[in-house]
Structure 1
């Protein structure tokens, strides 16, 4: 199904989420999710003004066939408008050794691409941070406004993954701090 047909079909399903009544305060909602750990990813895109990147903890696999993932973009991120407008992106799935990249792309008011030694462009133009064990180049197939965010659906068109034995511990964000998963966190 083409992007336009999918968007037209969903247009009737969209709602003004801000008009829905709720007894949940933004702080209570954030507190609940601080106790729910999430994998960490960095999303990059190329724009007419140059490369953009942001750190995301909302990347979720939706379908293996076709390979589709979703993530959300906060309107507060300086990279959101560039990623929202992009046709293709790169989703970097981070391990513990990639925490400096996660911090870099989570920082505001800096040039995330100032150091040319840590990234390069794919032949298709998207920025790729070096040394990331798993990444997916994706084509954006749909966008949906949801409160102060945009939910983006993307189909993987290229993937690069290290052999499982060579992969580091996944990087996880929990309660406003970076963590790693490993044998120490395995339950019997």
Structure 2
């Protein structure tokens, strides 16, 4: 199983918090479960983040906190590889959110940036937008968790299909 994740945040520093999360649970063939939610970060969303993501303070005011959605995130990522584009970024934020509720969160990581560099060498860029353009993957709602996670699912499926070197672990948790 693979949990393909994308988050949006209030920024990139240590004080930043999650504003949106999407998790697709994938069995290597297809999506088997899905979760998406805006998240009330409990802190101010800066204007430059709102310009990038379209997520503003009013949108998240009545949204659940991470604590409210933790069960869904835990369940969808349990016994699965944590897959994301720049995986350490998304994983770091989620791990920190679980830490804030005194829970140790650990998953094995697969980064689609690193895998793409090995499976599709020589591309001009490995940013999600440029990589998807090169591989003809449509991204709807760019810089939103659902849209970017869905594009990462399609990218991951292409990586699985073209993984001649067997870089992607299969049947790890069976």
Structure ranking higher in strand proportion: 1
State the TM-score, normalized to the length of structure 1. 0.27
Higher gyration radius (CA): 1
State the TM-score, normalized to the length of structure 2. 0.28
Structure ranking higher in helix proportion: 2
